[in-house]
Amino acid sequence: MAYIDFCLLFKGAIYRQDLIGRFEVGLSAGSRDFSLYKVLAPNNLTYDARDKRYFQTDTFVPLFEHDPRRTLVKLANDISDGFDAIGDIHFPVESASSLNVPDIYVVAKLVQAIVSNKAVSVIYTSLSSGSGARELVPHSIVDNGQRWHVRAFDRKTGSFRDFVLTRISKVTLKADPALSEQSLADEAWQRKIALEVVPHPKNINHPTAIELDYGMEEGVLQLEVRAAMAGYLLRRWNVDCTKHASLRTGEYQLWLRNQETLENTDNLAIAPGYISEEKRYE
């Protein structure tokens, strides 16, 4: 029941074969499960005989409570079991509290748009211009280490941008399919850049400890990241991106030794201390 509920909420539809394949049950057992779900939530789904698929209705209300944090992690790892809705086993492991929890229904509509390759109308509140309507074509939901955002083509500016999920207050799925605004056209998303991260040469007296922390080989952590994500990663890890390792406070335990790899990459204002060669000589 939780799996059916999860698929309807986040994909907008589910095939009977999805259920049969997921739980390795027979056709008759799968049919009984859908019948039971319809008894429990009669207004949540409708069957399209032509598509042979169950679709979410306009009056859909989740039968189960899907935890936003767990759901985002599952979506990020392509897990769609809905298991947290019926109770997970709890282990004595804690993580830092999250101050930023997106609305699960906003996430659901965005995921539906991504899965079906559709555009959405949203109300978005930005720091620079306040609240306003935008048309977006989303292609990925991303955890940048501090908060969740959606990577999307913004029809207002004609460019691919990041939109913080908690600043989206309303999402409406549009009927027209997206054409040239898909992820393959997002140059910064498709392009990978190589980062060489090392223990900070001026702030760390015992670099072996840092090498162990990050699993470095021969004193270097080699990373390949999307250009669109590089700034977030460097900020999250407090990597000193100055040319001569000049950030001297204690939180900077790492240094990017191949700073030149960041040239021609956007969204680096958040990379600690980074100044492009072009800006350096202005």
For the stretch 38-81, pLDDT in tens is: 999 999 999 999 999 999 999 999 999 888 777 887 777 666 66
Query: Which is more confidently placed, 194 or 24?
Result: 194
- How would residue 25 be classed by pLDDT, with cut points 50, 70 and 90? confident
pLDDT digits (tens, 9 = 90+) for 100-123: 788 989 999 999 999 899 999 999
pLDDT of 72 reads 80
pLDDT at 48: 94
Mean pLDDT of 6-30: 91
| Mean pLDDT to the nearest integer, 224-236 | 95
Span 230-255, average pLDDT: 96
Where do the domains of the chain lie? 2-86, 104-183, 191-280
How much is the pTM?
A: 0.81
- The residue ranking higher by pLDDT, 180 or 158, is 158
Identify the pLDDT of residue 180.
79
DSSP track, the chain: -HHHHHHHHHHSEEEHHHHHHHHT--HHHHHHHHHHHHHH-TTSEEEETTTTEEEE-TT---SS---HHHHHHHHHTT----GGGG-PPP-S---PPPS----HHHHHHHHHHHHHTEEEEEEEEETTTEEEEEEEEEEEEEE-SS-EEEEEEETTTTEEEEEEGGGEEEEEEEEEEP-S-SGGG-HHHH-EEEEEEEE-TTT-S-HHHHHHHTT-BTTBEEEEEEGGGHHHHHHHTTEE-STT----STT--EEES-GGGGTT-S--TTSTT---HHHHT-
Q: What is the mean pLDDT of the chain?
A: 89
Question: Each residue of 212-224: pLDDT tens digit?
Answer: 999 999 999 999 9
Q: pLDDT, tens digit, for every residue of 256-282? A: 999 999 998 988 989 999 987 555 544
* pLDDT mean over 142-162: 92
Is the per-residue pLDDT at 143 higher than 90? Answer: no
Higher pLDDT, 94 or 73: 73
The band of 85, judged by pLDDT with boundaries at 50, 70 and 90, is: low
Inform me whether the pLDDT recorded for 178 exceeds 90.
no
The yes-or-no answer to whether 2-86 and 104-183 have a common fold is no
2-86 CATH fold: Arc Repressor Mutant, subunit A (1.10.10)
For residues 229-253, give the mean pLDDT. 95
Report pLDDT for 177: 76
The CATH classification of domain 104-183, taken from the options 3.40.50, 1.20.120, 3.30.1360, 2.30.30 = 2.30.30
